[in-house]
Amino acid sequence: MQMSGAQMVCEAIIAEGTKTVFGYPGGAIMHVYDEIYKQNGFEHILTRHEQAAVHAADGYARATGEVGVAMVTSGPGFTNAVTGLATAYMDSIPMVVISGQVPLSLIGTDGFQEIDAVGISRPCTKHNFLVRTLEELPRILKEAFYLARTGRPGPILVDIPKDITVDIGEFVYPAEVNIPTYKPTYRGNRRQIEKAAEAIKKSKKPLLYVGGGAVLSDAYMMVRELAEKTQIPVVETLMSRGVMGAGNPLLLGMLGMHGNYASNMAMSETDLVISLGARFDDRVTGKLSEFAKYADIIHVDIDPANIAKLVDVDYPIVGDIKQVLEDLIPLLEDVNTDRYQAWREILRRYDELHPQSFVDSDKEIKPQWVIERIGELVGEQAIITSDVGQHQMWAAQHYPFDRPRQWINSGGLGTMGFGFPAAIGAKVACPEKTVINITGDGSILMNMQELVTAAEYKTPVINVILNNQFLGMVRQWQSFFYEKRFSETDLTFQPNFKKLAEACGGIGYDVTTKAEFDAALKDAIEKDQVCFMNVAISRFENVLPMVPAGGALFNMMLPQKSENDKGEK
């Protein structure tokens, strides 16, 4: 069928089954927007900033597992999208970003709104394309979606010169993709899996270390089956919260810099780490030479480059977690679960000794109380997104996540301003869920213009602002490591968050007591309208436990057990 390049872009998006595109028009992408106006195969949501468009597509992808699609124009439209690409890249999120480019004849002339998009985005995309002819456009679009969702997922950029969107040509959307240089491995090596099974049976203190890959591979049922069949305890990373489900007795909690005592001690004392889709990030390992010092390591990952990148691995298995576990679990039928009984008992005592806890107060609102309260009131009904900082860690520590894809945050890049637009994307994808963005008074301002988007499209995201009038995480480090010199972290000068929300068509709440919080949350859920819930929390609350950067995991600063207790190290 004959059509313009712009029409081809729309046809490809429809053919891929994408229901919603997030974007922002501009000169170089106008022909595509003209076609968007004429079609009705998908909805377009106009965010108020390109960065937010990409984060929204990202949130959409994280909530559903489908490829998120964002569209921006050339030059500043594209550069604004870079943070969104990098955020998705670091967390392996499937996404296709389509950017306009100046006409082919102007490329390289420093034309108006020209920037080398493929050059800039090379290190923060899985792959990128500059389309050079109309003939290759259908193939490139097909490959972009394919690359985004297969293997280790990631964001793909397709940069399309304006004249190509105007040209008319024959459109046949390829049914299949054939990239001879790209053949991801899904099925793990049988011999390696057998060896890993033997190692598990021989170990005394095995530990399942589950990462974001278990979410991306939709393998959580298999992970739970493995843990339950073998009775091996589990630690989750920031990216895999929800895989085991809160309350599962085998789940120790989250490990790492702000992991709980039992999780970090388990990693320090285990004799066999079974890593499923985790990548030994520095925020997880602490000092590498002390990390899992007494353990052999089984490392399952779809990306061979993740294996043995930071630690030596004894049983490397390249493959998709789901498929590897399909092969591994039957080999563990005869595992003797009593074998790990003593180990589980040690860990249970560790958890009793220093549970994940905080000292609540009647005088002021503690942020951890807010998180737990949200958990009590909406629980598994909610999707929780977050920005980056103390509130993110409190949410990861205290929310009772029941399932994967319930917890959406920027783990790898740590992008402030991610939470709100990601929440919009998640709400668009899952309108039946209550979507709550747990944020801080610093982060929320980094994409607050999205109030307008959320109000216009009636995506009632609840923004719970844990307001301590500080850039709290930096303040915490300044308290601990910089002799309380609070350099540029005091945010006492603030907007009126309530009025700000109202000015943009949303609702605002000022919350200073627990009762007010309950009332506000109830009202927000009923009103079904975007809101800012400005919750005044205790100013100097710290995220604990904490492993100081570069320290060994077992050297944790622990929280107070009561108001009189000064905490211990």
Partner 1 sequence: MSLENERRVISVIVMNESSVLARVTSLFAARGYNIASLTVAPIPNSDMSHITIETQGSPRVMEQITKQLHKLIPVYKVIEHEEMVEKEMVLVKFPIAENLSDISALCEVYNGGIVNVGTEMVIAMVADEPCRIRHFIEATDRYNPIEVVRGGVVAIER
Sites of contact with partner 1 (CB under 8 A): 118-119, 122-123, 126-127, 130, 132, 147, 179-182, 303-305, 308-309
* 130 vs 246 by CB, closer to partner 1: 130
The CA-CA-CA angle for residues 244, 260, 555, to 5°, reads 140
Q: Specify whether the CB–CB gap between 180 and 298 falls below 8 A.
A: no
Residue closest to 531 by CA, chosen among 504, 496, 513:
504
* 45 vs 130 by CB, closer to partner 1: 130
Active site residue 254: no
For residue 466, list its beta bridge partners.
440, 535
Q: Which residue of the set 162, 205, 427, 514 is catalytic?
A: 162
* 166 vs 308 by CB, closer to partner 1: 308
What's the rounded Cα separation, in Å, for the pair 534 and 500? 11
Active site residue 473: yes
Pairing of strands 168-170, 2-4: antiparallel
Active site residue 446: no
- Least Cβ distance, residue 496 to partner 1 (angstroms): 43
* 122 vs 187 by CB, closer to partner 1: 122
- Least Cβ distance, residue 116 to partner 1 (angstroms): 10
- Least Cβ distance, residue 182 to partner 1 (angstroms): 5
Helix ranges (H only) for 217-366 are: 220-230, 261-269, 282-285, 321-328, 341-353
Q: Which residue of the set 3, 113, 229, 557 is catalytic?
A: 113
- Least Cβ distance, residue 308 to partner 1 (angstroms): 7
Q: Which residue of the set 239, 244, 473, 556 is catalytic?
A: 473
Helix (H, G, I), strand (E, B) or coil at 269: helix
What's the rounded Cα separation, in Å, for the pair 9 and 330? 45
Q: Which residue of the set 39, 112, 135, 568 is catalytic?
A: 112
* 49 vs 127 by CB, closer to partner 1: 127
* 163 vs 194 by CB, closer to partner 1: 163
What's the rounded Cα separation, in Å, for the pair 163 and 5? 9
- Least Cβ distance, residue 155 to partner 1 (angstroms): 13
The structure tokens listed for 148 are 């985004």
Contacts 24+ apart (CB under 8 A), 285-290: 285/256, 285/310, 285/311, 285/553, 286/256, 286/257, 286/547, 286/550, 286/551, 286/552, 286/553, 286/555, 287/550, 287/551, 287/552, 287/553, 290/552, 290/553, 290/554
Active site residue 112: yes
* 304 vs 379 by CB, closer to partner 1: 304
Q: Which residue of the set 11, 50, 372, 541 is catalytic?
A: 50
- The helix or strand, by DSSP H or E, that contains position 438, with its residue range, turns out to be strand 434-440
The structure tokens listed for 153 are 């997922």
Q: How many CB atoms lie within 10 A of CB 291?
A: 21
What's the rounded Cα separation, in Å, for the pair 94 and 78? 18
- Least Cβ distance, residue 319 to partner 1 (angstroms): 15
Beta strands in 162-269 (DSSP E): 168-170, 206-210, 234-236, 251-254
- Least Cβ distance, residue 304 to partner 1 (angstroms): 5
Q: Specify whether the CB–CB gap between 20 and 42 falls below 8 A.
A: yes
Residues known to be catalytic: 50, 112-113, 162, 473
